[in-house]
Amino acid sequence: MNVSIAAQSPPIISLQNARFSYEGGVEALRGVSLNVARGENVAIVGGNGSGKTTLAKHLNGLLKPSSGKVLIGGEETSTTSVATLARTVGYVFQNPDYQLFCTSVSEEVRFGPKNMGFGHDDESALAERALKLMGISHLREQSPVSLSLGDRRKVAIASVLATSPRVLVLDEPTTGLDSVESAQLMATLGVLRSEGMTIVLITHDMRLVAQHMDRVIVMSEGRIAFDAGVEEAFSDPDRLKRCKLLAPPITVLAQRLQAQGLLTEGATTPLQLVEQLVRVRGEQQ
């Protein structure tokens, strides 16, 4: 259902043969073309130095392409300020410490909307909504610096959400989190997604990608090595390895079982695989 809507409306993010070189000559993007439709859930993955963060920084105009085009919500980023683009795309940095500076969480979360000139009432409403979405309303009066890494991440995301963007770009949001914190965070992203948010996730954790994302863009040496649905992206372990990535064990196992005709569809979590087996055995009986 989403697909048909996506096909009709213009993409919210569009890169056309974008190239980018850092000062000093390293070419970090070597001709990248892609479209992201509204409401899509996209992972950008790749080894260290593959160009994934450079690509992500093009999505809100922090970097502008040296040649080629980047269009965000139909506007070309090279002629639009970051502040304007920030209304469409929220960007969450990997290290929340780079972002947090206010003395209280609520102040921190209001900082973005204040910059964008929302009125005081809107500011409060937006901040409250963002705090609630991230499940950190109770931390409102706390100082961000005193919080755990997991909570600082949530504050950082809330402070970006408060500017009510339509796209959320997250750079390795689960790095440093343990499994409980990371599961919580991904569940929250699921909620955002169900409310129509477009999510671009940069990560090293392929298990998260398999479980939570629809589409995978694999970067390697500044180019898109491949761009595919999750099932297909993880179907060729050698191709992944060449891009310094590893397929999650359950995904690999499910694909092997499918090849043997023992399963009818793939699985991305142990529980999914078990449920399928229960079904298979039920049908056989």
Partner 1 sequence: MTRFEDLYTEADTFLHRLDPRVKMASVLMLSLLAIIMSALTYLLVLLTFIFVLLLLARSSYRKTTFAMKFVLRFMALIAILWPLFDPSGTPVLIRLGPVVITEPGIWRGLASAARVGCLATVWYILIFTTSQRDLVRGLVKLGLRFDFGLALAIALRYFPTFGTVMDSIIDAQRSRGMEFEKGNIFVRARKYVAVLGPAIVSALKTADMLALALQSRAYGARRNRTYLRELNMRPSDYVALVAALAMFIVPAIAKYAFSIPI
Partner 2 sequence: MMRAFELTKTTVTYQGSDFPALNDVSIGADEGEIVLLLGSNNAGKSTFCRLLNGLVPKSTPAQIDGKVEVLGRDANRTSVARLATMVGMVFQEPENQLFCMSVEEEVAFGPENVAIPRAEIIARVEWALEAVGLTGYNARSPSNLSGGEKQRLAIAAALSMRPRLLVLDEPAYALDPTGRVDLYALLRDLRERYGMTILIAERDAEEMAELCDRMILLRNGRVVADGAPNAVLSGIDEVVAAGVSPPQIAHLSSLLADRFPGKTRPFFTTDDAEKEIADLVRATGSDAP
Q: Please, which residue, 170 or 245, has the CB nearer to partner 2?
A: 245
Residue 154 binding partner 1, by CB under 8 A: no
Which one of residues 24, 261, 282, 283 is an interface residue with partner 1 (CB under 8 A)? 24
Stretches 112-120, 122-130, 235-243, 244-252: which one binds partner 1 (CB under 8 A)?
Answer: 112-120
Among 101, 229, 278, 279, binds partner 2 (CB under 8 A): 278
Residue 151 CB, shortest distance to partner 1, in Å, is 15
Q: Which is nearer to partner 2, 15 or 209 (CB)?
A: 209
Smallest gap from Cβ 223 to partner 1, in A, equals 23
Residue 129 identity: R
Strands 167-171 and 89-92: parallel
Q: Which does 181 bind (CB under 5 to 8 A by kind): partner 1, partner 2, none?
A: partner 2
Sign (positive or negative) of CA dihedral 86, 62, 134, 148:
negative
Q: Is 102 in the site for partner 2 (CB under 8 A)?
A: no
Retrieve residue 73's tokens: 């919500």
58 is a contact residue toward partner 1 (CB under 8 A) = no
